[in-house]
Structure 1
């Protein structure tokens, strides 16, 4: 996946030239990628784009610059025709201009209201170099992550945390709560990352920054679907049980099945559904025997009952295999796992 990153600096005089900061951010793991860098920079903002390393399709225009706006668009936008129509851009014109140019013209016509109309997987950066106003936009579901960190009147942003770490003058502290949340739930339960102060921009949100004024704005208000048809908790439990049994039955048979039992609600539900179907169940837990998860999983296994196996995993063994696990889970292409990959040198 291609990468974007940059900095906006409202300190005066600027601490460092934004253009030079972006060039420095393009040096990752000791390897300078500046020769592949598409770069825009002025006295206030710097933005860079790096294409996919093994890109086979023709390289597209990423920046569009007019007398007011600098527009960077990376990703896929599916409803270009409807955006053009709503912005009074003729269809023939739309076919002849680049995607950043289309978004630039549409933004001039619609303003931030445009963001709610865009459908796709994308990242958009818009810099108004007349009013000195920056917009950083995440797609509706956050498919393409954008991370940012604000320091005084400067904001660093990028599609991967490693670019931010390179641009910062001082490495941030580790965020223990974010690590605990990830190890407990298997995913981040907030926009925080493993690095203190580095935040992931939520899906369907955009950042608006001017001087020291920074706003996080949601552009997609979810419409309520009406009142629930479920009458009470008993009916809700029954529906959940039936759905779990139906799902497990579709992927299981009468052979002994091992359920990876963490002690959490999802693995408990799968194991209980297996048991309700009459299938022989064996459960497996990986972790420290003294941990709360391992003890809860053991209690669940005894109550099923099921044959239970505990694979011991020490903290040292976890760290030794952490880097390899991230790589095997496609860490370079996934925003969350890119976060994990950036953590490895600090954990060791």
Structure 2
């Protein structure tokens, strides 16, 4: 996604050639007319920044007097652990990074508070330092060979390098086909890695070092009461909402029927802002009805529902693949259609996105039963599989793949999860912390961050989140963070925003002062089973949409001829089948099952995504 990019040559080079390379890297990331690009090149390095301008803010600086250059992508909300003069707010943020680096190059990353990737080049000593924040929401990829190290927020920028091999990494391929997501720092390409959270890359005298500058620790739990924590969180959120919207002429909030976006809206209005809210989905769906009620209770003057057109699921598929580097399923491509219909001036709008969730709102990716030190290895592995939404993987699923690929996929399914999980076992002896970090990395960062296409079009902030809210999250006792209890989120709404707590939420159907009905939950589950079997027994002639959700891919496939032709046309294309990944008979069987009332569109879309990746990132550059 937009941000910093560049390279450093290990043994020198040609300035003219480097200027061409840095320009081409930028061109591959130029997705909208509103982007601005700044570049700088020497005979041994290149540095670039691309994206929407932040009015009045310096994000790229070259200081020839000090022999330093700096740039950052994402957002820096402030500075910390510095002398008073360097703590003062400034619009010249790139220059401030140079000041911090000049004083203490080693600890520079920990002095920046925000969600960012930053780079500093020491022009005199030919040294480069690249760092990201503690959660690493803004992805940064890097590639190294014997001649240079290249980096960018989008893998496609690396294709500008003529010696980039485009050789696929089997581990990355197997992970994607098994979980629809890449684990850890892997990508499809061999040699291309994603920078882990809170890491820095230092290139000095041709040597590359990659090390963490901060590590997770759950050593001290707070003894504060719930009211005290609610008050502390409230103050942090109020400060952050002001930092994230500073200077913006428009504030936009995507509003669902749930609680995360409701909390964002509550703090925006409490801060005196007049946000515009948007919800997307069928107007008569339960989520849209509750979202509209929340907007009305908050006194929102401009609330708009954007109805999703099923045609978007194929009209935006190829562009979505290109933007996201083909690293995720194309299903969320409909969000491009939503984003393009906000009708807001991109550079002047602060988009407060609750998608990052959880760590900002005080609850984790685990439930109460995970707060344990005695789970067996198999029990842990089973819960990690569910964290990846991988429970659909069975023999029927593997029949879609070529017989030569099946045993490799099965062999790597548990082995890859265990290998990645090992690093989190060292952080804490409680499984809840281990599962939380594993899921933050592999579900939030590698899936949700990747599908967040708002970042290509708007100034997209992870609402309410910064270093201080992360510290706040870490100190909370696990019992308060367990899902779906979400103690602090719910108590915060009840104590500070009772008018919004009184509106039912989509998940339970009741307000926060009432207990959800077990009968309602049972009836919803029963209704879904009845709908599924009705569609199956009618061989797909009857299609029942679940109005609790805003997308109905399985039904769209059966009722929208063009979508069906798009999916079938790609998967049955000889070019696709001749790659050797998919089994023709297995693919035809899955397509027939889907036509007859099945619910496997997600798996089929994953195969389509994989093929579109090949066409855009392999075939196109061969």
Which category describes the TM-score, using the shorter chain as reference length?
Answer: 0.5 to 0.7
Unaligned stretches of 5+ residues in structure 1: 260-283, 295-307, 324-338
Shift in CA distance, 312/61, structure 1 to aligned 2, threshold 3 Å: closer
Of residues 185, 190, 200, the one that matches 1:191 is 185
Equivalent residue number for residue 65 of structure 1: 62
Q: In structure 2, what is the Cα distance between the partners aligned to 1:245 and 1:312? A: 28
Of residues 90, 94, 98, the one that matches 1:100 is 94
Q: In structure 2, what is the Cα distance between the partners aligned to 1:51 and 1:30? A: 8
Contact 1:162/1:342 (8 A) holds in 2: no
Deviation at 1:99, TM superposition (A): 0.6
Answer yes or no: is 1:218 the counterpart of 2:212. yes
Deviation at 1:16, TM superposition (A): 6.4
Q: In structure 1, what is the Cα distance between the partners aligned to 2:218 and 2:602? A: 45
Deviation at 1:343, TM superposition (A): 4.2
Could you say what the CA RMSD is over the residues aligned between the two structures, in angstroms?
Answer: 4.5
Moved segments of 4+, more than 6 Å: 29-33, 226-229, 243-249, 286-291, 312-317
Q: In structure 2, what is the Cα distance between the partners aligned to 1:145 and 1:317? A: 21
Shift in CA distance, 29/204, structure 1 to aligned 2, threshold 3 Å: closer
Q: In structure 1, what is the Cα distance between the partners aligned to 2:91 and 2:602? A: 56
Range that drifts further, 169-178 or 155-164: 169-178
Shift in CA distance, 257/344, structure 1 to aligned 2, threshold 3 Å: farther
Secondary structure of 1:38 counterpart: strand
More strand by share: 1
Answer yes or no: is 1:46 the counterpart of 2:46. yes
Equivalent residue number for residue 300 of structure 1: none
Shift in CA distance, 152/231, structure 1 to aligned 2, threshold 3 Å: closer
- Post-superposition CA distance 1:75-119 (Å, at most 9, x none): 212233x35xx144255xx34550111111112222221312422
State the TM-score, normalizing by the size of structure 2: 0.39
Secondary structure of 2:107 counterpart: helix
Deviation at 1:124, TM superposition (A): 0.4
Equivalent residue number for residue 140 of structure 1: 134
Unaligned stretches of 5+ residues in structure 2: 222-369, 384-481, 487-505, 510-520, 531-553, 558-581, 591-596
Contact 2:172/2:188 (8 A) holds in 1: yes
Shift in CA distance, 223/17, structure 1 to aligned 2, threshold 3 Å: same
- Post-superposition CA distance 1:277-313 (Å, at most 9, x none): xxxxxxx9x998969xx9xxxxxxxxxxxxx956489
Of residues 144, 155, 161, the one that matches 1:161 is 155
Q: In structure 1, what is the Cα distance between the partners aligned to 2:610 and 2:171? A: 21
Equivalent residue number for residue 89 of structure 1: 85
Q: In structure 2, what is the Cα distance between the partners aligned to 1:217 and 1:174? A: 25
Equivalent residue number for residue 5 of structure 1: 5
Equivalent residue number for residue 281 of structure 1: none
Equivalent residue number for residue 200 of structure 1: 194
- Post-superposition CA distance 1:243-276 (Å, at most 9, x none): 78979984745132359xxxxxxxxxxxxxxxxx
Equivalent residue number for residue 299 of structure 1: none
Shift in CA distance, 345/233, structure 1 to aligned 2, threshold 3 Å: same
Equivalent residue number for residue 271 of structure 1: none
Q: In structure 1, what is the Cα distance between the partners aligned to 2:217 and 2:606? A: 47
Answer yes or no: is 1:111 the counterpart of 2:105. yes
Q: In structure 1, what is the Cα distance between the partners aligned to 2:158 and 2:373? A: 49
Answer yes or no: is 1:23 the counterpart of 2:23. yes
- Post-superposition CA distance 1:19-47 (Å, at most 9, x none): 221012233399999x9421111122111
Deviation at 1:322, TM superposition (A): 5.8
Range that drifts further, 244-253 or 158-167: 244-253
Shift in CA distance, 155/322, structure 1 to aligned 2, threshold 3 Å: same
Secondary structure of 1:257 counterpart: helix
More helix by share: 2
Secondary structure of 2:85 counterpart: coil
Equivalent residue number for residue 78 of structure 2: 79
Answer yes or no: is 1:254 the counterpart of 2:523. yes
State the TM-score, normalizing by the size of structure 1: 0.65
Q: In structure 2, what is the Cα distance between the partners aligned to 1:108 and 1:47? A: 19
Contact 2:9/2:149 (8 A) holds in 1: yes
Shift in CA distance, 12/141, structure 1 to aligned 2, threshold 3 Å: same
Deviation at 1:70, TM superposition (A): 0.8
Q: In structure 1, what is the Cα distance between the partners aligned to 2:40 and 2:180? A: 38
Equivalent residue number for residue 265 of structure 1: none
Deviation at 1:171, TM superposition (A): 3.6
- Post-superposition CA distance 1:206-250 (Å, at most 9, x none): 10012331100100122243799746449xx8xx9xx78979984
Higher relative contact order (CA 8 A, sep 6+): 2
Q: In structure 2, what is the Cα distance between the partners aligned to 1:78 and 1:29? A: 25
Secondary structure of 1:37 counterpart: strand
Equivalent residue number for residue 151 of structure 1: 145
